[in-house]
């Protein structure tokens, strides 16, 4: 039973986007309300979360790109 690389990478893209959206929403709420001591992660933690999510998103795009390149190479070999 093989792994479906596309599904795994797409799941990673979605998870990264959700993390990014969550952190961005908390940062926006802090900016709109002026709350420094908002419940949940600190501003610094949300900024780090955004950076991590962006890196993970790019990594998952790289997985998809590599899979497509490998599939193209395989098709070239079989042709």
Q: What is the pLDDT of residues 30-62, one digit of tens each?
A: 888 876 666 778 889 999 999 999 999 999 999
Average pLDDT, stretch 3-12? Answer: 90
Output the average pLDDT for the chain.
86
Point out the least confidently predicted range of 17-26, 56-65, 67-76.
Answer: 67-76
Domains in the chain: boundaries: 5-34+42-78
- Output the pLDDT for position 1: 40
Q: How far is CA 48 from CA 27, 64, 74, 76, in A?
A: 12, 25, 39, 42
């Amino acid at each position: 039973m093989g792994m479906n690389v596309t599904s795994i990478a797409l799941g990673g893209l979605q998870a990264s986007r959700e993390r990014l959206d969550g952190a961005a929403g908390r940062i926006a709420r802090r900016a709109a309300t002026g709350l420094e001591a908002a419940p949940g992660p600190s501003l610094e933690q949300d900024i780090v979360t955004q950076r991590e999510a962006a890196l993970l998103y790019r990594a998952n795009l790289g997985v998809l790109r590599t899979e497509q390149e490998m599939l193209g190479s395989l098709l070239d070999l079989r042709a």
